[in-house]
């Protein structure tokens, strides 16, 4: 694997980020970190979508310019991702001058080659979806099924993209590439949508939407959201219709594009059609994740259950986002919906990260110090009965990530921790020490610590701070590639002293984990 390019959806900056935005970014960051353990060149793109009527209206209500609103909210997204240790390569904004220029050139190219044409149109427009809706897709009450609002009747002369021209090619691609849409059960949804697909509007009249990118040569039209927004995945790399950059040539096509299931249609139908029209290869895979509910209820401003990405860190006074990252990433099987609740969060991260993984490392190192003054003797390095299970888990985790089964991979790591805990209980090193079977005791402890090195590498994408602290206490090089992992990581000699041992994760309800008690 020479390179790995992955993207998230770009978030609409009409408001501040919420936990649903965070889920996607954490998921993508975990994928990026995992594949950085398998190849040397990972490029991770995220950003914000900053044009359209909703931003125009919200800015007017606030008495500020659309650009001022975009600047204010784009920074909120950047701050949130920093707090959650989302380590992207580039953050693109669709108000970036370079992006706007290339979008104009893309539009102009498609217009000149006949893929875009001008047409008078009347249709049902949903501002929430930023698209025209087919009457048959509405609810019985004539509402948008996603936003539960009545679309407005819009009559305009707009530019249209010949989506129908690419219909058969898209169907063929989906059928011939069963892994193109992940999870695969979503592919049938897309094929059903393709059955009566129509050409789509790709501009809006300036009289209705002023906040957008101008169409070259037509001052009365703004380029409509989907050519603008979707093109970010290539403009960020320096795509140009005449002279694409070396960065673009290196990284495109994307290995995976991570999106929410609600915008799958645009990414699996509109986006491939645009790319085909530009004579560019399609992304290798599109991962459509599910939604995150709050206490089993869909997030809604009216219900007052919208959670900001950092509020969980503040509520539980967490010094790092690792627990929240782990919880979100393991909250739902691939492509399915997940749920957040404070009680479940506390129970799950305490069980997996504190009681199981953190406690296993802490007590094993503590016994090494107690019985051997933290020293690893040559005779402790024996054949490890846990090696086969551990190295097998590495392969299973890799296989899960190849299918973007992030939750499943995380739970596999926890199963390995459980196996090692059972090994400790079965072999009772404290009893061996009491019986003065010191070599056997040392072998048990080192067998465990060897596997803890592997666990630190596997858990790193989910919990980078915890993994780094584990690796520090184990004197383990966390930069090792997964394919190079062995069960011979612990060096003979002094490993650790008593004052160097500290819990890698404190229970979220413990007195020690409460910052106020430390003041």
CA dihedral 300, 301, 305, 308 (to 10 degrees): 110
Q: Which of 18, 34, 78, 265 is catalytic?
A: 18
Q: Which of 62, 82, 149, 298 is catalytic?
A: 298
Q: In the annotation, is 298 catalytic? A: yes
Q: Which of 70, 78, 99, 126 is catalytic?
A: 126
> Environment class of residue 436 by beta-carbon count within 10 Å: exposed (0-12), middle (13-18) or buried (19+)?
exposed
Q: Which of 62, 67, 119, 147 is catalytic?
A: 147
The answer to whether the beta carbons of residues 290 and 337 sit under 8 Å apart is yes
Q: In the annotation, is 289 catalytic? A: no
Q: In the annotation, is 126 catalytic? A: yes
Q: In the annotation, is 144 catalytic? A: yes
What is the C-alpha to C-alpha distance for residues 214 and 99, in angstroms, rounded to an integer? 13
Strand, coil or helix: 166: helix
The answer to whether the beta carbons of residues 445 and 351 sit under 8 Å apart is no
From residue 114, alpha-carbon distances to 52, 108, 200, 226, 429 in Å are 25, 10, 14, 18, 76
Q: Which helix (H) or strand (E) holds 43?
A: strand 42-49
Q: Which of 25, 34, 70, 129 is catalytic?
A: 129
From residue 165, alpha-carbon distances to 139, 180, 197, 261 in Å are 29, 20, 10, 25
Q: In the annotation, is 434 catalytic? A: no
Q: Which of 112, 136, 301, 519 is catalytic?
A: 301
Strand, coil or helix: 7: strand
Q: In the annotation, is 334 catalytic? A: no
What is the C-alpha to C-alpha distance for residues 69 and 58, in angstroms, rounded to an integer? 8
The answer to whether the beta carbons of residues 192 and 164 sit under 8 Å apart is no
The answer to whether the beta carbons of residues 417 and 462 sit under 8 Å apart is no
The answer to whether the beta carbons of residues 350 and 505 sit under 8 Å apart is no
Angle at the Cα of 39 from the Cα atoms of 35 and 40, rounded to 5 degrees: 115
Given the DSSP bridges, would you call strands 42-49 and 4-8 parallel, antiparallel or unpaired? parallel
Q: Which of 51, 78, 131, 144 is catalytic?
A: 144
Instruction: Report the catalytic residues.
Output: 18, 21, 126, 129, 144, 147, 298, 301
């Amino acid at each position: 694997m020479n390179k790995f390019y992955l993207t998230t959806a770009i978030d609409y900056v009409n408001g501040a980020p919420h936990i649903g935005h965070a889920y996607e970014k954490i998921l993508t960051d975990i994928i990026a970190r995992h594949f950085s353990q398998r190849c040397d060149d990972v490029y991770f793109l995220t950003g914000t979508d900053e044009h359209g009527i909703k931003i125009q209206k919200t800015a007017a209500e606030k008495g500020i310019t659309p650009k001022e609103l975009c600047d204010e909210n784009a920074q909120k997204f950047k701050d949130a991702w920093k707090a959650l240790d989302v380590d992207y390569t580039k953050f693109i904004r669709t108000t970036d001058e370079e992006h706007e220029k290339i979008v104009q050139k893309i539009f102009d190219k498609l217009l000149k080659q006949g893929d875009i044409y001008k047409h008078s149109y009347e249709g049902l427009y949903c501002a929430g979806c930023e698209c025209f809706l087919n009457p048959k897709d509405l609810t019985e009450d004539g509402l948008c099924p996603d936003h539960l609002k009545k679309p407005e009747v819009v009559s305009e002369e707009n530019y249209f993209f010949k989506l129908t021209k690419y219909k058969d090619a898209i169907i063929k691609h989906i059928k011939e590439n069963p892994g193109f849409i992940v999870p695969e059960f979503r592919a049938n949804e897309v094929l059903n949508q393709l059955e009566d697909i129509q050409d789509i509007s790709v501009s809006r009249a300036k009289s209705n939407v002023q906040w957008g990118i101008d169409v070259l040569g037509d001052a009365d039209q703004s380029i409509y959201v989907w050519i603008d927004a979707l093109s970010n995945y290539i403009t960020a790399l320096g795509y140009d219709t005449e002279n694409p950059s070396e960065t673009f040539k290196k990284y495109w096509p994307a290995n995976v594009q991570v999106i929410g299931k609600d915008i799958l249609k645009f990414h699996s139908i509109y986006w491939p059609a645009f790319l085909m029209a530009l004579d560019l290869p399609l992304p290798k895979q599109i991962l459509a994740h599910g939604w995150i509910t709050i206490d089993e209820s869909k997030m809604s401003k009216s219900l007052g259950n919208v959670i900001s990405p950092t509020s969980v860190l503040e509520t539980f006074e967490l010094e790092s986002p690792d627990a929240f990252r782990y919880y979100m990433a393991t909250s739902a099987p691939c492509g399915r919906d997940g749920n957040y609740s404070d009680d479940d969060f506390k129970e799950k991260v305490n069980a997996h990260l504190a009681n199981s993984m953190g406690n296993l490392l802490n007590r094993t190192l503590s016994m090494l110090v107690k019985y051997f003054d933290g020293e690893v003797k040559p005779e402790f390095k024996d054949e490890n009965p846990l090696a086969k299970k551990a190295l097998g888990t590495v392969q299973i985790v890799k296989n899960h990530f190849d299918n973007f089964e992030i939750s499943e991979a995380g739970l596999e790591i926890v199963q390995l921790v459980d196996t090692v805990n059972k090994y400790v209980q079965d072999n009772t090193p404290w009893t061996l020490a009491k019986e003065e079977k010191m070599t056997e005791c040392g072998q048990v402890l080192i067998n465990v610590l060897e596997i803890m090195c592997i666990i630190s590498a596997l858990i790193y994408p989910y919990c980078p701070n915890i993994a780094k602290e584990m690796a520090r206490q184990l004197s383990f090089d966390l930069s090792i590639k997964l394919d190079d992992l062995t069960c011979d990581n612990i060096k003979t000699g002094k490993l650790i002293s008593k004052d160097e041992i500290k819990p890698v994760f404190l229970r979220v309800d413990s007195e020690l984990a409460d910052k106020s008690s430390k003041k």
